[in-house]
Structure 1
Amino acid sequence: MNSLKHSDPPLWSAPVASAPVDCEVTVPGSKSITNRALVLTALADGPSTIRGALRSRDTELMINALRGMGVTVTPSDDDGTTLSVDPGQLGGGEVDCGLAGTVMRFVPPVAALAGAPVHFDGDPQARKRPMSTILDALRELGVEVTGDRLPFTVTASATPRGGTVDIDASASSQFVSGLLLAGARFGEGITVRHTGDRLPSQPHIEMTVAMLREAGVSVDCSAANQWTVHPGPVGARAWLVEPDLSNATPFLAAAAVTGGRVRIHDWPTHTTQAGDAIRGILAEMGCAVEISADPQTGHSSLTVTGPADGVLHGISRDLGDIGELTPTVAALAALADSPSELTGIAHLRGHETDRLKALSDGLNSLGGDCTELEDGLRIQPVGRSALHGGVWESHHDHRMATAGAILGLAVPGVEVVDIATTGKTLPGFERMWAEMLAPDEEASERG
C-alpha cells in the first residue's frame, strides 16, 4: 500500500458487515430531476416552487450558476429542500461547474439567453470532459462561443434564432437534454438530431421530455433520434422531486451482499429515473425484490432481501441506458459466484473519471479479476475469500466511492480515498452507511 502524501484526501476505512443488514432508508431527492427543475424554473414565465429538492454539491453548483445570471432561488423551509424560484431577468456572470456534468452541459444554452457574456470554468478534472458537442451546436444555432471545453465563454446579444442542429451525442445524453431544456426560449425552438452511434442513457432524455411537457412545452419525438422543442413559454409550476433511485442502489446492494433486508421509502411506481432498473438486476443476481405500500407514508416502498446463502450470481447485461449503475453492479459482480459481462458503456470513459479503467484497476488491486472491454467490463469470480483489503481510489467520483463502500462490506481492510466526494449527490452518505450497519436498538435511539 502506497503511503499518502500530506495533501492527499483522507482514507475512509469501509466498515465490514458483521451480520445481515436490516434497515429502512429514506433517500434524498433526485439530482437529475432537481437540476432539470431548476433550469426549467429559471426559464419559466413566473415564480415556481420545487419541493423535495436535493441539496448537494451538484445542485448547489446549479443554484449558484443560475443565481449568478440573475435568477432568485430562495429556500423556504428549515432543511432547504423547498425552493422558491423567481426567474427575473437573465444577465451575464461567472459559472463554476465544479465536476457537475449537468451544470456544464445544461447551463450554456441558458447562458445563450442572457444577453451578455457568461464565463464557465470548473474543477481541473472537469476541463478534460468533452464539451465541444454542445458548444459547436450552440454556434450553429446562432450563439457566440469562445473555447471548446472548460474554460469557455457564451455570448448572445439577442435571442438566439435556434433551428435544427445535428450532433453526435454518443458521449453523453446530456448534450441532447441541455439543448432541449432551453429550446422553447430560442426564436425558432430547437430540433436536435443525433447522428452518431448508439445514444447512451436514453431514460435521461425521456425524463427531460416528460418534464418539458409538464411545464407546458410542446415536444415532438416522433422521429427516431430526433427531438423538436417548439418555441413558446415555459410554464411556472410546483415541482415535486422523487427520491434519487441511483443513490439508493448502494444501500440495496448492501442487502444483496450481506443476505439482509433494506427497504427504501417512497419508491415511485412509475418513473423515468434510470436507477429503477436496479430492481431487475438484483432479482437476476439472486435477490428477492418487492414493491409494496409503505405502512409509514401510504406511498410505495421497495424492499430487497439478499439471498439467505449469501451467494450472488453474475450477469450479462447491456447497461447502455443505465450506465450510472455500473459501479454498483461491478462491485456486486466481483462478489458473485459466476462471470459477469457489462457492456454498452464505452461512454463511461468520459464521466467524472474513466469509470471503466477505474473500476478495472480498483477491482484488480483488491485481488479481483476484471478485464476492460471495448465497451465494458468482464468480471470473473475469484471467491470472496480471495479478495483482500487495500486502497480504493475514488478519483473524485461519487459512484466510485460508494462502490468501494459496497466491497468493504465483505472485504476487510478496504480504504476508500476521499469518501466525502459522495457529497456531490448524496451528502451524509457516511452517516447513512453507519446507521444502516448499526444495531436496531442504536438506530431507534437516534430516531
Structure 2
Amino acid sequence: MKKPFVTKEQLDAIAARYPTPFYLYDERGIRENARRLKAAFAWNPGFREYFAVKATPTPAILKLLHEEGCGCDCSSLTELMMSDRCGIRGEEIVFSSNNTPAEEYQLADKLGAVINLDDITHVDFLEQAIGHIPEKICCRYNPGGVFTLGQTREGFQVMDNPGEAKYGMTRAQIADAFRMLRDRGAKEFGLHAFLASNTLSNEYYPQLAKVLFQLAVELKEETGCHITFIDLSGGVGVPYLPDAPENDIAAIGEGVRRVYEEVLVPAGMGDVALYSELGRFMLAPYGCLVTRAIHEKHIYKEYIGVDACACNLMRPAMYGSYHHITVMGKENAPCDHKYDVAGGLCENNDKFAIDRMLPKIDRGDLLVIHDAGAHGFSMGYNYNGKLRSAELLLREDGSVDQIRRAETPDDYFATLVW
C-alpha cells in the first residue's frame, strides 16, 4: 500500500498556511533516489543524468538535482532559459527537441548545450541557424517497427510502436547524418533513442542499450566517426498502482553494464560515456497533489468534489491514468465506500478516480493524490479560468518552502488586451 511521505499533522499545518490545492515535493526522497541512480551507473565514469525538465520545470527542483550531479534535458526555448537561470549551462545541458525553431538552436548553441538532432534535414537547418556545426553533436535514432520486450520477470509484456512515433531518424538516415556532420567539422558523436514509456521492467534499459550499442559499433565502422557518448533517454517507469512492482535501478545499471562489456568493450569502445534523461523515475513518487474535499453528491453514483481539478493534474482525464489516493487520517479505515472523485471543470472527464473504493470521505478531509511529481504541475492549464496552484518543498528537516506561488487572477488577465 502506498504511504504519503508526509504525516497528517504535518499536512494540516501546511494546509493552514498554504490554501489547497497545492503540489508538495519530498526533498529527502528526491536526493536519495538521485544517489541510487548515480550509484547504479558508477561503473561508467562518464555517466550523467540529464533530468527531463518537461517533467517538473521548477527551478528549486532543478537546483536540488544539480547539487546531486544532474544536468538538464531541455526541449524548448524557455526550458533552456530556465536551466541557464539556475546556473546549469554548457555540457550540463542536452537540448533534445523536434520541429525546432531556429532561435532555439541559437540559444542552445550560445549556452554550449549538447544538441541532439531529431531529423537528417536538421543538419542543414542547424548550420544555417547558428552558422556552424558544433564539434560535439548527437542524433536521435528511430528503429521503426514495434518494440517488444517479451515476458518479463514481473509477468507482463512491454510493447511500444516506434514506427508510429514522430521522433528520430531511420537507420540509413542516421549513417548519412553522421557523415554529413563529420564532413562539416563534428568531432564527437552521440546516439539517442527512446523506445517505450513508463516501463516496469528491469530489462528495458539493457535492451535499449543493446540496440544503441550495436548501432554505435556499426556506425563507427561505417563512418569512422568517434562516438563518445550514448544517451539512453527515459522510459524507466514508476508503479502508479499500489500492487505494481518497482524497478530496481541497481539491477538495471548492472544489466546495462553487462551489455556494455558484451558489445562496446570488444569493439574498442570501452570509453563511451552513458547519459540518461529520466523525468518520471526521478520525480513522480516524490511529489503529490494535495486537495481538500469540499462537496459530496449523491445521485446515480456517489461523488466527492475536491478543490483541485484536471487543470492541476490532467493525466487521469487525458489518459485514464491511475493515481492512488490517500485520505489523510483515515489510512487504516476500511475502504468500504465507492466514489468518483471529481474536480470542478465543465467536463465530465474531470475525475481523479472512478468507482474507487476509499474510506468514507467527509467535507474538509485532505486527500493526497500520489505519484504526481512528474508530468503533473507541468501539464497544467487554465481552462475554465482555473488558476495554477502553488508548489511546496518539504525539506529534510521538516520545514516547508514555497517554491512557486499560486497564480492569481491578475496573472490570468496579464496577457489580455482589452
- TM-score class normalised by the smaller sequence: under 0.3
Rg: which structure is higher?
2
**How high is the TM-score relative to the length of structure 1?**
0.23
**How high is the TM-score relative to the length of structure 2?**
0.24
